[in-house]
Copies of this chain bind each other. A is one copy, B any other.
Amino acid sequence: MATIYEVAKMAGVSPATVSRVFNGIGVSEAKTQAVRDAARQLRFSPNRTARSLRRQESEVIALVIPDIENPYFTELARGVEDVAQKAGYSVVLCNSDAQVEKEARYLQIAIAEHMAGVILAAAADHTNLDDILATGRPVVAVDRGTGYDIDGVVMANRSAGRAATENLVDAGYRRIAFIAGPELIETAQERAQGWRAVMASRVPDAPVDELLRYSSFQVDGGRGAMEELLALAEPPDAVVAGNNLIGVGAIQVLTEHGLTPPRLGVAVIGSLPFTTLSPSAVTIVRLPARHMGVTAATLLLERIGGDGQPSRTVVLRNEVQPATAVRSA
Contact residues of A with B, CB < 8 Å?
1, 43, 45-50, 52-53, 58, 60, 68-69, 71, 74-75, 77-78, 81, 85, 90-95, 102, 106, 108-109, 111-114, 131, 135, 219, 244-245, 248, 251-252, 255-256, 272-278
Contacts and interface: CB of A to CB of B under 8 A. Distances in A.
A102 B275 CA distance: 29
Nearest to A251: B276
Given A49-B52, A112-B48, A113-B49, A69 B74 contact: yes
A85 to B, nearest CB: 8
A77 B68 contact: yes
How many copies of this kind of chain does the complex include? 2
A328 to B, nearest CB: 15
Contacts of A81: 68, 95
A59 B256 CA distance: 47
A274 B277 contact: no
A48 B92 contact: no
A113 B1 CA distance: 12
Nearest to A261: B276
Contacts of A248: 274-276
